[in-house]
Amino acid sequence: MYKKLSTRTANRLLCGGQIINISSVSPDGVSDVMTAAWNCPYDADQVLIVLDRGHTTTANILDNGKFVISIPSEDDISVINKVGSAHGRDVGDKFVWAGIESDKSQILGLDVIPNALAYIECELINRDVLDKTGVCLGKAVNIYVKDGLWDDEGSHFGEGMKLTLSYVHEGLYRVNGREVKV
């Protein structure tokens, strides 16, 4: 026996929707950060994220081709909810607006939310695909992970993966299989 679901729930069956933050900067130097759940690896050194074409982040990436993905933890839920609740076009610098004292990414020098589990600094691979579809393909130019979260022997994000957040729906996340309600 099976239960029929709406086709609009396909994304919830395929993954829990790992939460990431995406940092970018405007041509005028205004920092932006957003929260997203639609992302996945694309190749060994490439990532895929799906962005709304009307978002400030999308415009920033189209303009300069640079962005940073940060992987937050449960400790960051209030911050990621806040930066995910407003558009940069409405509030200006989201770090200032949200009261976040940012760190700078190591290579690209973009503002990022501090103390993330890991960071992936990226350059845009295909501007036309992002512009036409909202699918953002990025090539990693630098990756750094908090000490103790990467398994060198197995070459994977072993301990770190246990701490990543997955989005379920409004106010509900999963961390290592445990539900966290906000």
Q: What architecture does CATH give domain 15-149?
A: Roll (2.30)
Output the pLDDT for position 28: 95
Q: Where are the domains of the chain?
A: 15-149
Span 84-105, pLDDT tens digits: 999 999 999 999 999 999 999 9
Output the pLDDT for position 97: 96
For residues 66 and 23, what is the distance between their CA atoms, to the nearest angstrom? 9
> Other CB atoms closer than 10 Å to residue 154's CB: what's the count?
8
Per-chain mean pLDDT for the chain: 91
Contact by Cβ (8 Å): 66, 94: no
Amino acid at 21: N
> Mean pLDDT, to the nearest integer, of 70-77?
94
Q: Is a pLDDT exceeding 90 seen at residue 70?
A: yes
